[in-house]
């Protein structure tokens, strides 16, 4: 199903609702902010009105059940039961496997954003569940302070607060500008219980950001452990920990 909601908090309310329903299992809950969903819809060439995309946030839900029909019925009944409470704006329960595939293409074919903006700066952060809406609003404002034309494309895994973000630059940016964008996106994440790197690791690309934004105590501990198990620094030298 593709469900239009006013914000991430409403999407989370829907997810909790389905988690409490024991006759089905929640297979996926992905969130797309409107700018990302609309851009994907244009690039995929879907007809206007084919998918409900006018809401500020879109929730992609997938349920597992004993049959496709049972899963579809559970989605329809479950959404109807929480429609008003969650403030649902619009919704579409896939009536076929091909329609379900169209919904998933919105979420999965994210390389189209990279093609449209010629490999723009992209990020992978984790944000505490209760802070998603405030975080996206904050980075929208912060990016405008760098450049009035900048805006983020945001989507991610709702249940664990893992957001993927690309910026609408025309291709890669200078190191100084990239660092300024990082500072907007990473500011306050650690203090709030989030992380500047969620599922894509640190490696070389995020090593400088790691030094600026990761907990200094954890960095010292990581350096000490690295020194104990790899004193000759032969295992992946220079990755994550610089100056070894």
Q: What are phi and psi of 191, to 5 degrees?
A: -65, -30
The fold adopted by the segment(s) 2-109 is: Alpha-Beta Plaits (3.30.70)
**Does 112-213 match 2-109 at the fold level?**
yes
Q: Which CATH class is domain 112-213?
A: alpha beta
Chain mean pLDDT for the chain: 92
Distance of CA 64 to the CA centre of its chain: 22
pLDDT band, very low/low/confident/very high, at 142 (cuts 50, 70, 90): very high
Output the CA–CA distances (angstroms, integers) from residue 64 to 9, 27, 77, 201, in the order listed. 23, 6, 14, 30
pLDDT at 50: 75
| Strand 25-33, strand 90-92: pairing | unpaired
Torsion over CA of 118, 120, 125 and 131, rounded to 10 degrees?
-110
- The structure tokens 């997810």 sit at 15
Q: Where are the domains of the chain?
A: 2-109, 112-213
Q: Greater confidence, 239 or 48? A: 239
The predicted-structure confidence for 151-183, as pLDDT tens digits, reads as follows: 999 999 999 999 999 999 988 899 999 999 999
- Running DSSP on this structure, what letter comes out for residue 21? -
Q: How would residue 53 be classed by pLDDT, with cut points 50, 70 and 90?
A: confident
In this prediction, residue 188 carries a pLDDT of 87
Q: Is pLDDT above 70 for 86?
A: yes
Query: Which pLDDT belongs to residue 212?
Result: 86
């Amino acid at each position: 199903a593709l469900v239009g909601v006013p914000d991430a908090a409403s999407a989370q309310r829907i997810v909790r609702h389905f988690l409490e329903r024991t006759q089905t299992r929640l297979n996926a809950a992905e969130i797309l902010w409107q700018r990302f969903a609309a851009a994907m819809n244009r690039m995929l060439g879907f007809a206007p009105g084919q998918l409900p995309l006018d809401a500020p946030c879109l929730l992609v839900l997938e349920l597992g059940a004993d049959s496709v029909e049972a899963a579809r019925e559970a989605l329809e009944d479950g959404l109807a039961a929480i429609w008003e409470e969650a403030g649902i704006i619009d919704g579409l329960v896939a009536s076929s496997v091909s329609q379900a595939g169209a919904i998933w293409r919105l979420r999965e074919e994210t390389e189209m954003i990279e093609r449209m903006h010629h490999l723009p700066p992209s990020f992978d952060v984790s944000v505490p569940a209760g802070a998603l809406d405030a975080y996206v609003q904050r980075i929208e404002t912060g990016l405008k302070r760098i450049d009035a034309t900048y805006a983020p494309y945001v989507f991610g895994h709702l249940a664990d607060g893992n957001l993927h973000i690309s910026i609408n630059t025309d291709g890669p940016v200078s190191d100084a500008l990239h660092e300024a964008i990082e500072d907007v996106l990473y500011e306050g994440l650690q203090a709030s219980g989030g992380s500047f790197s969620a599922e894509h690791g640190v490696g070389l690309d995020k090593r400088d950001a790691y030094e600026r934004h990761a907990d200094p105590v954890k960095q010292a501990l990581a350096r000490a452990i690295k020194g104990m198990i790899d004193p000759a620094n032969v295992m992946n030298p220079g990755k994550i920990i610089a100056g070894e």
